[in-house]
Structure formats: structure tokens, C-alpha cells
Copies of this chain bind each other. A is one copy, B any other.
Amino acid sequence: MLLYDMRTAMNPRRVRIFLAEKGLQIPIQAVDGSKNENRTAAFLAINPLGKLPVLQLDDGSYISESIAICRYLEALHPQNPLFGEDPKTQAIIEMWTRRLESEMVLPLTSAFRHTGAYWQGKLVQNPALGHWWREQALEAYAWLDQVLADRAFVATDRYSMADIVLQCALIMAKPTGMPIPPDCTHISRWYADVSARPTARA
């Protein structure tokens, strides 16, 4: 297998942290988004959407979408499950993963896409949209802080894929100008905990 990676981007980081948590190693092919290497004809043949990460399987086929990649790897390597060990736990972890994606990740990434220098020239930026999404992100932070008030991890009593999704969003949030608000003490406590894991810099 070969993992097409983009070092600083949010979604590839999910896979790298997942691999580190599982103790797995996969050869990595770096793709540099700042040089538009993900928009070349060669890469668009790998993923027509131009997105990272992509996992090349040994039969030559490609899987994109970070969660699909991680779930595939979990099926091959079920030890230390990050998607849950039974159907109910799996459902709770996916519920929280998807809640985080729609409520928190989407506003953060959308605000960045419409205001960030990285995205200039890569898409039609609309600052008014960026502002609207930023407001949504602030509301989401307030919601999330309450969610984390009485729990150590997002979905269950163990670190899971839902934590990875949130962790990677918040790693991106700081340099893109939407860091955890100072009054969100529960998020900050959770973030300090997951950032202290040996896998956090994968």
C-alpha cells in the first residue's frame, strides 16, 4: 500500500494519527498543495476531486476520504479499535464523528477556505461567507465546550476516531485564526490531553 499525504492538511493528518495509534506503518508519498501538486493530471487520475489523503491498495486501486481509509485499515487490523469494538459503540463513535464534522469541522474549514491566504486563487473566496462561517464556528465552540464538560473523550470513555477528527480540526484552527476561545475551558482541557499523546505529532 502507499499513502498519498499532504503534510499540513487536516484530513491526511487524521490518517497519520490513526496509523500511529494503531502502530501501523505505510509508505508515504508526499503531495505539496502549495505547489498545486494535487491538481496535476497525474494526481487527478488518482483522485478526480484533487483531495488528500488517498490510499493506493496493492491491487492498484485507490481509496480516498480519510474516514473510509481509516475504517478500511481498521478492518484489516482490528486490534486497538478506534471505530469501536461492538455495533453499539461503533454507532456512538460514528454519531459523534458526524456531529463533529457537521457542527464544528465544516464551519472551521469553510471559514478558512473563504478567508485563508492558502486558498487564494484555488477557489472563489467570499469574505462575507467566511465571516458567516466564523460565527457558526464560534457557536459550535460554545456547544462543544458543554459537550466536553463531563467527559474525558468525545464519544466513549476511550480515545476514538471521533477524537482524531476533532483533534485535527483544532490543530488547523489555531494557525488559521480560529483558536479555541479562552472561555472554552473544557475543550482546552481535552485538547491538552490529546495533544500529550505520543501520536499527536504524527
Contacts and interface: CB of A to CB of B under 8 A. Distances in A.
A72 interface: yes
A96 B64 CA distance: 9
Interface of A is mostly: helix
A95 B69 CA distance: 8
Given A63-B91, A75-B90, A132-B126, A98 B57 contact: no
Interface in A118-135: 126, 128-129, 132
A1 B30 CA distance: 47
Contacts of A154: none
Interface residues of A, number: 28
Contacts of A129: 128-129, 132
The 10 closest A-B pairs by CB, nearest first: A75-B87, A72-B91, A68-B94, A65-B98, A68-B95, A65-B95, A63-B91, A68-B91, A72-B87, A64-B95
Contacts of A103: 49
A15 interface: no
Contacts of A69: 91
Contacts of A87: 72, 75-76
Interface in A44-92: 49, 57, 61, 63-65, 67-69, 71-72, 75-76, 87-88, 90-92
Given A61-B88, A63-B91, 12 more contacts: A49-B99, A64-B95, A64-B99, A65-B94, A67-B98, A68-B91, A68-B92, A71-B91, A106-B106, A128-B128, A128-B129, A129-B132
What's the number of copies of this chain in the assembled complex?
A: 2
Interface of A: 49, 57, 61, 63-65, 67-69, 71-72, 75-76, 87-88, 90-92, 94-95, 98-99, 103, 106, 126, 128-129, 132
A91 B63 CA distance: 7
A71 B128 CA distance: 37
